[in-house]
Structure 1
């Protein structure tokens, strides 16, 4: 029941300053490194009568990368640039100001990948992975067990500041049901830029989800109200993450491995837009 009220959802991870297309990815169990990214023009994506099944299968199918690129999305480049330019300003705020942007209830512990598939430990994971609101730097751990000092993260729900006021849900799903923490005085423009881009990514994700459901309905029976699109429409727990990478010479040793940047992790939901 709760999973229907607060289903998995798309998250927007914003990292690179130059990207002409919005990329949406879906979790894949395996992929071929020789396959190229599939691109769909936004005008085609908006057309609900368009048959995009071949491109969806090519991108999200068993031989795809799990990535689809949506080109020519109106306003995307502008709002993405606006938000990314706020990253350095956020990261360089005074330390006492950034401490006020931290979620006091957050905590983190690295868990072996195999545990992620143990259904009996899902409730435990919900309590352990809780850096999902506000500012975080130097507290989350990488696969190596070391603290992540290379990047700072700002998390927020781009659609709803308070997804629920029901205390039982907040306690059971703190990573999803908590409230946003905005720097209203120190960086007031962050909220508008974050929400505008997040809403745009969600809207594009919904269009793609519609076509994914059309594709899936050819191979399986889908009841009314089910499917990816309706899951996203009814979700109240969308998640956005703004990443800022600190200068490498200040934070990254020359011999650092790939796990120093990004280790094993699970995305928040069905679609991830960048």
Structure 2
């Protein structure tokens, strides 16, 4: 089993005060780092927003196929709305073990905006196609809770970016003052991805099989780099869908008892497992020394990973990190069958399409190559 690594952790107040040291940033993002930083002491509303949004991911994935089909966007290469089975894994097979709901976060700039403007970029519908949302009648609070949580993540990313700018301005010749903070706070292309990892068909394994597994078994999400600047990550919510099925059919009878009196239109939060039944399941990072390590994110914290665009912007001072997700397997012989799902939210802060990530290379040109490679 891979070693569990302790990620560099800072408080939100340290970011607000601008007191995060350069040594801390180098330890978190530098050439010998794991490329991740954890932020604690978040605003009070974060815990409830996380629970609601990640529960809603299971309700969404439980919709009938015809309803999910109506929430897809083939013209955006399935990078807006619902997407499942459109990406390929390292084996070349299509990935059907996770469903994604992609959201363009231009609303962070203007509530009326649901995508980046298409002017000058007719071939990038993955950023310029408008968002697709489930109806409030079918999934009440889905849109409001996703938008609220994304705003909180982006606000926090802006503080991390400001700390990175202080470092870059002091250590990189010619670095434009405040550039990363500008990218995060003015971007119309920031993309959120609400993820539901379905219970794996091989989710029951004997203890002997578990001992013989490879630590780089990336069955739930293949090893990859993020291509943006800073990726905001919630901790994963693990659910036993055998014990607590996310059935919309039962909502009408249970919602009134489960929802609070002041938010009757909110879907019930699903019962979250205190931890994964399989301690090997979760987020893995391949370190600079080629060691595979597991990183845990506390439930009341956010983590931020470095992406390829940030590596270019900082001329390699901060490095993108390869990572993957390993599925949950439960030992046989348990009294009750379990179906373990994993939900999480990732928010990819990215430059506007026309902005340069390095001299002569715009983010639009860079993103075209990434999409062509992965989709």
Q: Which residue of 2 aligns with 1:64?
A: 33
- Kindly indicate whether residue 221 of structure 2 is the aligned counterpart of residue 262 of structure 1: yes
Seen in structure 2, the aligned counterparts of structure 1 residues 131 and 222 have a Cα distance that, compared at 3 Å, is: farther
| CA distance in 1 between partners of 2:119 and 2:168 (Å) | 36
Gaps of 5+ in 2: 108-112, 234-375
Structure 1 counterpart SS, 2:14: helix
Select which of 190, 197, 206 maps to 1:238: 190
Deviations 1:59-106 (CA, angstroms, capped at 9, x unpaired):
111121100000011122221111001111100112111111000214
1:134 is the counterpart of 2:81: yes
Cα distance, 1:253–1:140 mapped onto 2, change above 3 Å: farther
Partner of 1:247 in structure 2? 199
**Which protein, 1 or 2, shows the higher relative CO under an 8 Å CA cutoff with sep ≥ 6?**
1
1-structure distance, mates of 2:49, 2:183: 26
SS at 1:56 equivalent:
helix
Match of 2:74 in 1: 104
Match of 1:53 among 4, 11, 22: 22
| Cα contact 1:150–1:251 (8 A) shared by 2 | no
Q: Which residue does the alignment assign to 1:190? A: 142
Write the distance in 2 (CA, Å) between the matches of 1:188 and 1:104: 25
Is 1:150–1:252's contact at 8 Å kept on the other side of the alignment? no
TM-score by length of 2: 0.53
TM-score (norm 1): 0.71
2:309 corresponds to = none
> Which whole-Å CA distance do the structure 1 matches of 2:36 and 2:175 have between them?
26
How far apart are 1:142 and its partner, in Å? 1.4
SS at match of 1:46: helix
CA distance in 2, matches of 1:149, 1:224: 42
Partner of 1:172, secondary structure, is coil
Change (3 A) 1:182 1:173: same
Q: 1:149 to 1:51 in 2, by over 3 A?
A: closer
Secondary structure of the residue aligned to 1:65 is coil
Gaps of 5+ in 1: 1-32, 107-129
Counterparts in 2 of 1:268 and 1:186: CA distance versus 1, 3 Å: farther
CA distance in 2, matches of 1:217, 1:51: 15
**1:220–1:101: structure 2 CA closer, same or farther, 3 Å change rule?**
same
If you compute each CA radius of gyration, which structure gives the higher value, 1 or 2? 2
Between structures 1 and 2, the one with greater helix share? 1
User: Could you tell me how far apart the structure 1 residues matched to 2:150 and 2:161 are?
Assistant: 16
Q: Is the 8 A contact 1:39 1:69 kept in 2?
A: yes
Residue number in structure 1 paired with 2:303:
none
Q: 2:194 aligns to what SS in structure 1? A: strand
Counterpart among 232, 235, 242 of residue 273 in structure 1: 232
Correspondence 1:157-236 to 2 at 5 A: 157-160=104-107, 161-169=113-121, 171-184=122-135, 185-222=137-174, 224=176, 227-236=179-188
Deviations 1:194-242, CA, capped at 9 Å, x for gaps: 1111111100000010011101111123465662111222211111111
The whole-number CA distance in structure 1 between the counterparts of 2:153 and 2:202 is 31
Q: In the alignment, does 2:100 pair up with 1:143?
A: no
Q: For 1:89 and 1:251, how far apart are their aligned partners in 2?
A: 22
| Alignment size in residue pairs | 216
Q: How far off its partner does 1:193 sit?
A: 1.0
Residue 54 of structure 1, CA deviation = 1.8
